[in-house]
Amino acid sequence: DCCSSVFTADPERCCWHHGGSMLKQPSHNEPADVVRRALDFKSQGTQCYKDKKYREAIGKYHRALLEIKGLCRVLGDPDPGPKSTSTLLPTISKSSTLTDEQKGAMENAELECYNSLAACLLQMELVNYERVKEYCLKVLLKEGKNFKALYRSGVAYYHLGDYQKALYYLKESHKQEPSDTNAVRYIQLTEMKIRRNAQKEKKEAS
């Protein structure tokens, strides 16, 4: 029964997304229930992260985001778009169904999930820096001065070899938290890479 766990591995196949009978059972799909489930999954993800169970945490954060995406469908957005670079926040903020408190909780939850997913990925043995960058940029669309998202964006760009962008985001993060030693260290590493590349180009040109 695909609905026994709310979401399957493929959320598009879960029958409660379709116009079937499950949608007629308000106890399952009331916005307040979806909000509660999303927050529960986010909290479970946070606990898994604290316990250093990063893969489990990633799963929980993804489920929280799936709940939020489901909430957007309930609120009338037929397809928030899994490949979208933007967040789901516009649909939520425009809703008249949710209370201001629920809207705030969902907006914070979505951003926290993306930030936390980036943090989890950085703990993996093989880090997907492209995905880290993607998640952090989603956060920065809404919170341009979010230190963690700025710092992690910088780290991701550094490891992707885009040192100019890395330096930009790292310096922006340093403005938010001048005492953070990790940001300072990465700024130094990035500047060193830029200098070496400049010397290499100069040598090749001569």
83-129 residue pLDDT tens? 454 565 555 656 567 788 888 888 999 999 999 999 999 999 999 99
Q: What is the pLDDT of residue 20?
A: 42
pLDDT band at 131 (very low <50, low <70, confident <90, very high): very high
pLDDT band at 32 (very low <50, low <70, confident <90, very high): confident
Distance of CA 124 to the CA centre of its chain: 16
What is the tens place of the pLDDT at every residue in 177-186? 999 999 999 9
pLDDT band at 23 (very low <50, low <70, confident <90, very high): very low
Domain boundaries, the chain: 1-143, 144-206
What is the tens place of the pLDDT at every residue in 49-87? 999 999 999 999 999 999 998 887 777 655 555 445 456
Compute the Cα dihedral for 88, 94, 96, 100 and give only its sign.
positive
- CATH architecture assigned to 144-206: Alpha Horseshoe (1.25)
What is the tens place of the pLDDT at every residue in 154-196? 999 999 999 999 999 999 999 999 999 999 999 999 999 999 9
- Greater confidence (44 vs 75) lies with 44
Assess whether pLDDT exceeds 50 at residue 202.
Answer: yes
Q: What is the pLDDT of residue 87?
A: 60
Q: Do the domains 144-206 and 1-143 match in fold?
A: yes
Distance of CA 76 to the CA centre of its chain: 23
Q: What mean pLDDT is reported for the chain? A: 83
Residue 26: count of CB within 10 angstroms of its CB: 10
Question: Residues near 55 by Cβ (< 8 Å), separated by ≥ 6?
Answer: 120
pLDDT band at 7 (very low <50, low <70, confident <90, very high): very low
State both tokens at 159.
């490891």
The share of the chain scoring above pLDDT 70, in percent, equals 75
Q: Give dist(CA 105, CA 99) in Å, integer.
A: 10
- The fold of the 1-143 domain, in CATH, is 1.25.40
Q: What is the pLDDT of residue 53?
A: 98
